[in-house]
Amino acid sequence: MQSSLDDLEPIASDDVATQPGLGEGAPSPEAKRVFIKTFGCQMNVYDSERMSEALAAQGYVETSEASEADLAILNTCHIREKAAEKVYSDLGRLRDIKRDRAKGGKETFIAVAGCVAQAEGDEIVRRAPAVDLVVGPQSYHRLPELLSRLRGGEKALVETAFPDEDKFDALPDRRPAKAASAFLTVQEGCDKFCTFCVVPYTRGMEFSRPVAALMDEARRLVDRGVRDITLLGQNVNGYHGEGTDGEAKSLAALIRELASIGGLQRIRYMTSHPRDMSDDLIAAHAHEEKLMPYLHLPFQAGSDRILAAMNRKHTAAEYLRLIARIREARPDIALSTDIIVGFPGETDQDFEDTLALVKEVGFAHAFSFKYSPRPGTPASTMDGQVPEDVKRERLDRLQTLIEECLARFNGASVGKTLPVLFEKAGRREGQLVGRSPYLQLVHADADPALVGSIVNVDIRSAGSNSLSGVICG
Ligand code: SAH
Ligand code: SF4
Ligand code: F3S
């Protein structure tokens, strides 16, 4: 983790747990194999895991080799043009694999899932006829049924409705955890309609899962070794799921309930909207020990004129006041954000306002993007589209500033002792990699048996992306 997004590439291996699942035996030679490539945000990472679980119940075993796969799934992202276009080049490669395998008498199904599936539907099979199945994010629980229809000879199935039934109820139980940290989707969809964004169209309206179902899923994860859960939602702090008393519960209330699970040691959540940062959630950062001091709170732009055109429903000053209140509750909180440069109409001065806001807050992490016009969104047809070279130059300047902020934040950790949850082996022999409470990657020489444990580490050095240290003796 914990990149909010990955523009071009699927989630990097560093971002996803890669340890083999406990108790997973070697696949039998005749087992069906599924290859899943995940693009985009953490919600897609969670969904890929759940799809894999649904398919495991049908006898599928995951493979990292597309050429071995009886079923290849691209779980796609539509947020920016490049992310969406990448899918078509991957589909070209899968088409060739499918053709080669057919020569050897092997059948291969190609499926497109995720937000491109939802946004483009039939268009995908028109542009890439090798695709057998297009399945939107609300229909993953139908995968087994859709696959048996393909095996029965049906072709080019497109399933992008928003069905009445809840996909979460229909998905099978979680299998053994692959790592000490896990995602748990608690809320999906968005009604905010920022003028640049496709999410309200690809993920639908806001929906919160009930508290009881989440407690159940969290307990199962913890029973299987998970210690750190990140609650996911496109607007996670707008969570309002039904409690056991039938009343709607806030995210803070959900966090308090989850914190009562004994073996669960760390709770995080993302992504939040500044408008939904309620008093009880801010207070939870002061009082709830298991809630980690990390908050991803996108502000997108520093100019009030651009914020209004984006329909963000807050000003720069309101964002700063919010940050001050959050820091009052939890002075050491690490703040992270998303920023867009080159939104239509953005002037040099507007961009300077964005730089000024970044300097003023002092972020621990930030994701920055060139504005990408998305079909069907209001901003895509606004006047004043900014030329590509101007966007590029602004992004470069912004990213230089962000690098400085990250180096400063990480540099301030040197000399401190931080509790690190070790997640997996590092690249170097004898090294483990884990996360600090502030979500920094921490490398240290350590016994592999410490994976899954929280251990104090003296931080000795820092880069802009990670820390390294020595386990306290
Ligand atoms: N509510 C979620 C939104 C997911 S999109 C969240 O706030 O994380 C993640 C980020 O992608 C957004 O915050 C925004 O900075 C960026 N983004 C969305 N649409 C974009 C577009 N059309 N062009 C460039 N960046 C975009
Ligand atoms: Fe997109 Fe805005 Fe909703 Fe985030 S809040 S998902 S940026 S519409
Ligand atoms: Fe991308 Fe869909 Fe996530 S568009 S960012 S995969 S919600």
86 lines ligand 1 (CB under 6 A): no
Question: Tell me, what's the pLDDT at 162?
Answer: 78
Minimal-distance CA residue to ligand 1 atom 15: 338
Q: Is the pTM of this model over 0.75?
A: yes
Q: Does domain 417-471 have CATH number 1.25.40?
A: no
CA of 327 to the centre of ligand 1 (A): 24
Closest CA to 333 of 367, 300, 303, 288: 288
Residue among 297, 354, 286 nearest 323 (CA): 297
Q: How far is the CA of 452 from the centre of ligand 2 (A)?
A: 33
Nearest CA to 363 out of 304, 300, 443, 295 is that of: 295
Model pLDDT, residue 171 = 73
Q: Containing H/E element for 31?
A: none
In whole angstroms, give the CA distance from residue 131 to residue 99. Answer: 12
Q: Who contacts 92 (Cβ-Cβ below 8 Å, separation ≥6)?
A: 128
Q: Is 190 in the pocket of ligand 2 (CB under 6 A)?
A: yes
- Ligand 1 touching residue 46 (CB < 6 A): no
Please, how many CA atoms are within 13 Å of residue 381, restricted to the half-sphere of its CB? 4
Identify whether the C-beta of residue 454 lies closer than 8 Å to the C-beta of residue 444: no
3-state SS, residue 172: coil
> Ligand 1 centroid vs 197 CA: distance in angstroms?
6
**Residues spanned by CATH 2.40.50 within the chain?**
417-471
Counting from 1 in the atom list of ligand 3, the atom nearest the Cα of 5 is 5
Coil, helix or strand at residue 155 = coil
Q: At what angle do helices 42-56 and 143-151 cross, to 10 degrees?
A: 60
Shortest-distance Cα residue to atom 4 of ligand 1: 234
Strands 207-208 and 334-341 come out as unpaired
Q: Tokens at residue 204, please? A: 């639908």
H/E element, 316? helix 316-329
Q: What is the DSSP letter of 438?
A: T
Query: Which residue's CA lies nearest to atom 14 of ligand 1?
Result: 338
Task: Give the distance, in angstroms, between the CA of residue 237 and the centroid of all CA atoms in the same chain.
Answer: 15
Q: Is the CB of 310 under 6 A from ligand 3?
A: no
Classify residue 14 by its DSSP letter. Answer: G
Atom of ligand 2 nearest to the CA of 197: 1
| CB of 206 closer than 8 Å to CB of 238 | yes
Q: Which residues of the chain have pLDDT under 70?
A: 1-29, 174-178
Q: How does DSSP assign 346-407, residue by residue?
A: --HHHHHHHHHHHHHHT-SEEEEEE----TTSGGGG-S-PPPHHHHHHHHHHHHHHHHHHHH
187 lines ligand 2 (CB under 6 A): no
- What's the 43 CA to ligand 1 centre distance in angstroms? 13
77 CB near ligand 3 (under 6 Å): yes
* CA-based nearest residue to 201, from 103, 91, 79: 79
Q: Which of 226, 224, 215 is nearest to 176 (CA)?
A: 224
CATH 3.40.50.12160 location in the chain: 32-159
- Spell out the residues 6+ positions from residue 53 whose beta carbon is closer than 8 angstroms to its own: 171, 172, 173, 174, 175
Paired with 419 in beta bridges are 456
What is the DSSP code string of 217-277?
HHHHHHHTT--EEEEE-TTGGG---B-TTSSB--HHHHHHHHHTSTT--EEEEE---GGG-
Quote the CA–CA distance of 469 and 473 in Å, as a whole number.
Answer: 12
Radius of gyration of the chain (CA): 22
Q: Whose CA is nearest to atom 1 of ligand 3?
A: 77
CA 264 vs CA 135, 199, 223, 288, 361: distances in Å: 34, 31, 9, 13, 31
Cα–Cα separations (whole angstroms), residue 466 to 105, 180, 399, 433, 469: 48, 19, 17, 10, 10
Which residue has tokens 């047809």?
A: 381
Instruction: Tell whether ligand 3 has an atom less than 6 A from the beta carbon of residue 114.
Output: yes
Counting beta carbons within 10 angstroms of the beta carbon of residue 86, is it exposed (0 to 12), middle (13 to 18) or buried (19 or more)? buried
CATH class of the 32-159 domain in this structure: alpha beta
Q: How far is the CA of 238 from the centre of ligand 3 (A)?
A: 18
C-alpha angle with apex 261: 286 to 441, nearest 5 degrees?
65
State the virtual CA torsion across 231, 49, 177, 55 in degrees, nearest 10: 140
pLDDT per residue over 13-61, tens digit each? 333 333 333 334 455 667 899 999 999 999 999 999 999 988 998 899 9
Tell me how far apart the alpha carbons of residues 18 and 350 are, in angstroms, rounded to a whole number.
42
Domain with residues 167-411, CATH architecture? Alpha-Beta Horseshoe (3.80)
pLDDT at position 13 is 32
Res 4: pLDDT: 36
Q: φ, ψ for residue 21 (rounded to 5)?
A: -65, 145
Cβ of 202 less than 6 Å from ligand 1: no
Which ligand 1 atom lies nearest to the CA of residue 367? 15
Residues 272, 276, 282, 283, CA torsion sign: negative
198 lines ligand 3 (CB under 6 A): yes
For residue 85 the two structure tokens come to 């276009």
Q: Which atom of ligand 1 approaches the CA of 379 most closely?
A: 22
Q: Which residue CA neighbors atom 3 of ligand 3 most closely? A: 41
